[in-house]
Chains A and B, each alone.
Chain A
Amino acid sequence: MSEKVGVYICHCGSNIAGVVDVEDVAKFAGEQIENVAVSRDYKFMCSSLGQELIEEDIRKEGLTRVVVAACSPHLHEKTFRRACANAGLNPYLCHMTSIREQVSWVIEDKAVATEKAKAMVAAAVKRVELHEELEPSEVPVNPNTLVVGGGITGIQAAIELADAGYPVYLVEREPSIGGHMAQFDKTFPTLDCAACILTPKMSDVGSHPNIHLLSYSEVEDISGYVGNFHVRIRKKARYVDEEACTGCGICIEKCPKKVVDDVFEAGMGYRKSIYRPFPQAVPNWPVIDTESCTYFERGKCKACEIFCPTEAIDFEQQDSYIDIDVGNVILATGYDLFDARKVPQYGYGRLANVFTSLEFERMCNASGPTEGKIVLRDGITEPKSVAIIHCVGSRDENHNPYCSSICCMSALKFGHLVMEKTDAEVTSFYIDVRTSQKGYEEFYNRLLEEGMHFVRGKAAEITDAARQPGEEGKLIVQAEDTLLGKQRRVPVDMVILMSALEPKADAKDVGLQFGISCSMEGWFTERHPKLDPVATMTDGIFVAGVAQGPKDIPASVAQGAAAAARVQGMITAGTVEIEPIVATIHEEICSGCKICNNLCPFNAIEFLEDKEVSYVNAALCKGCGTCVAACPAQAISGAHFNNDQIFAEIGGILYDAIGGNGAKAPAKSKEPAPA
């Protein structure tokens, strides 16, 4: 039985009708395209009257397919699908073609535009005839949530969810939660002490009945799909029995081995071989660093074990694995700091008194290696002049093209701290000062008033080679002051490099593991940059904080909370609809050649060993169709984008071209009907 297709050409006021001869297109569709039962043009198809027009035709004319030629399907596909559903037609039997964005708005010549619109309508009709009824499926949502990353973003997300009454697994790679924020001294622009606002939240996490904190742990494997993920977590051996340890810290005190702390203290201070990263660590169980521990190196010492009052030290401890089921995942894996050594002209690592921003944060911190004193690398001398270099590794074609967003404000904060704690003069070398959030510009003005100097120019070089009097023994910052149009050499005692924020070194692997994409740099890609900033293309996986792109603490916290809110929405709904646009493998056709199995980044294609065929797990399939196109046996079909539908669309869109080999085109060489 042939289909009865209804074709609706939208005027979109004059947006379409001003360029396309809509009446002519409707007439063409009605008279020249097979199986078109109704063809109309209307002022605004998306208006309720327009929709009613379709609904009425479905009911009265018995339409079995609907084509709407109007704006982009990204705008109104849902609208017209709903209209069809209202009239009892499966919504997937409706097809939209974009004669506004692709025709009337981009073509000036009216006749040419009308011709293109006709071809597009012909293609849509040919395609829609072959559409199949599709039904979304529903799956339940597990109320547990996995939060990966225990920085301020992950902490916020975990607390929001836990406070709402839902169980949370918070996984942190390091021995303690807190992330980068725990390393900071003050936070801009309010100059709150970072620890004062962070530690209460940390202990909240540690004691919350709904939060299962898994520190010093990593996600080993994740499988499943939205609402139903299975996660395996590797709990790295601490060599400390968490049940027995009281966190008294005697072991740390007694440990005879001191090593440079490259992580928390950014190489500025020391820690013991058994250690907790900082005193307020949550959890406060220490961990043994086997790389430096004397017992692990030489087989003797055991000072920690000897002195531990609760026999909590366990040198035999092994990594353990925990399997959990969760409905959703929030990735808040944070960032790495750009390695300033990659800009050799700034001399970091070569010139002692060039510091990175993180080193300087630790230096300012009262519990840091210098107990908050701002001093040169010798640990004693207070600087008399400090230069702050912006955009080190950011806004730089050689490294990262993007703006790291937080450095200008950090630089202002540093300027303030230097001037507060010392008598030093502070000069900032900037490209632009970017202070766009609430209270930020005011803070900039405050620093201008406080007497911080600003030189507009990217520093070309930092050197200790004195050329002019007054430069001896100093670091000289060479820069072009672009406001004055002059080269400047500014001799200082100390230089702070505002290093860029970079994606975690393993961000792309993590992205692959969780089935989400990264930008070229390695920031996690959100579903929509404006309208869906914390969801991802993979349902049930959310991103928040700097892992998604450089941002400051308020923005990170907001995203953590937003992600938690999205997850709560999923949990409250209880079930989630799964798109029916998925691939299906026909097992009687599949020969089990295994071409497709590796092609799916979502691991939706399994190989069924017993039947020796491959199988698509519809809940994992995202409907991209890559396997459909790859299958050499043509055993895979892609719903709503199957070969026949696309072939028909190609035939339709070339309806006015000289037919070739196509089955429907009359082949001239074929024998005429036998005489």
Chain B
Amino acid sequence: MVDERFEPKIVAFLCNWCSYRAADLAGTARIKYEPNVRMIRVMCSGRVDPTFVLKAFALGADGVMIAGCHPGECHYLEQNYKAMRRFNMLKHTLKAMGVEEGRIRLQWASAAEGVQLASAINEMVDQVRELGPLNWAQNWHEDGEVEAAIQRIEEEHAEVMEVPA
């Protein structure tokens, strides 16, 4: 077996005002960080619907990060607190679903914190790499077994029907 390093795919939702600007700053400052995080801009971390996170996992993400302004510094005054509450709720449910805690992260990053955002990303990528692929769809993938079982029923029925009434 080839010992290839697992490269997780992480989706990050960044608020327009602080964390997306932190990502801009990390870029402008040429801070190199792990390429595994792919970013989606929303106006506020308060816009992040738990469905986004669940969907990302279902579509193959190995981890999800939600990033917003620091508490008390939200550009919409207090909406990041709502993001925090939802994050806690979602984490609670994901835990019950068997998703490891390390696969979801709430990160505060101000527009000046390019370095902090980059190192949070690196940390998370390492953590998720350690956890391995999530591959969620595999959870309900049934092998050929199902088709074989249905085939058997079809054959059985066909056999019965061959018997003259």
Contact = CB atoms under 8 A, between A and B. Distances in A.
Do chains A and B directly touch (beta carbons under 8 Å) in the complex? yes
Contact of B47 (A123, A628, A656, A657): A628
A658 B133 CA distance: 11
A660 B59 contact: yes
A457 to B, nearest CB: 30
Interface stretch (A212-220, A235-243, A618-626): A618-626
A189 interface: no
Interface stretch (A98-106, A323-331, A481-489): A98-106
Given A100-B27, A581-B43, A654-B60, A662 B55 contact: yes
Contacts of A602: 76-77
Interface stretch (B28-36, B93-101, B123-131): B28-36
Interface residues of A, number: 62
Determine the main DSSP class of B at the interface with A.
mixed
Given A628-B47, A668-B141, A74 B77 contact: no
A669 B28 contact: no
B141 A72 contact: no
Interface string A642-657: 0100110111011011
A106 B27 contact: yes
Contact of B77 (A73, A113, A123, A515): A515
A599 B23 CA distance: 28
Interface string B11-43: 100000000110110111011110100111111
A518 B77 CA distance: 8
B132 interface: no
Contacts of A48: none
B40 A650 contact: yes
A101 B38 contact: no
Nearest to A527: B75
A199 B73 CA distance: 37
B52 A660 contact: no
Given A105-B30, A668-B141, A669-B140, A601 B35 contact: no
B55 A74 contact: no
Given A520-B73, A650-B56, A658-B137, A626 B44 contact: yes
A511 B77 CA distance: 9
Nearest to B142: A669
B47 A98 contact: no
A649 B40 contact: yes
Interface in A54-112: 72-74, 98, 100-103, 105-109, 112
B42 A622 contact: no
A272 interface: no
A641 interface: yes
Given A629-B48, A660-B60, A662-B59, A520 B72 contact: yes
A623 B43 contact: yes
Number of chain B interface residues as a range? 35 or more
Contact of A653 (B11, B78, B140): B11
A626 B46 contact: yes
Contacts, number: 169
Contacts of A519: 72-73
A601 B46 CA distance: 12
B51 to A, nearest CB: 7
Given A106-B27, A112-B35, A626 B55 contact: no
A662 B58 contact: yes
Given A517-B75, A629-B47, A661 B146 contact: no
B66 to A, nearest CB: 11
A634 to B, nearest CB: 9
Contacts of B119: none
Nearest to A538: B77
A537 interface: yes
B42 A646 contact: yes
Interface of B: 9, 11, 20-21, 23-24, 26-28, 30-33, 35, 38-44, 46-49, 51-52, 55-61, 70-79, 82, 86, 118, 135-138, 140-142, 146
Interface of A: 72-74, 98, 100-103, 105-109, 112-113, 115-116, 119-120, 123, 511-512, 515-520, 525, 537, 581, 599, 601-602, 622-626, 628-630, 638, 641, 643, 646-647, 649-651, 653-654, 656-662, 665, 668-669
The 10 closest A-B pairs by CB, nearest first: A657-B60, A101-B27, A625-B47, A626-B46, A660-B137, A660-B58, A624-B44, A624-B76, A661-B58, A601-B77
10 contacts: A105-B28, A106-B35, A106-B118, A601-B78, A624-B44, A626-B44, A629-B49, A629-B86, A656-B9, A661-B136
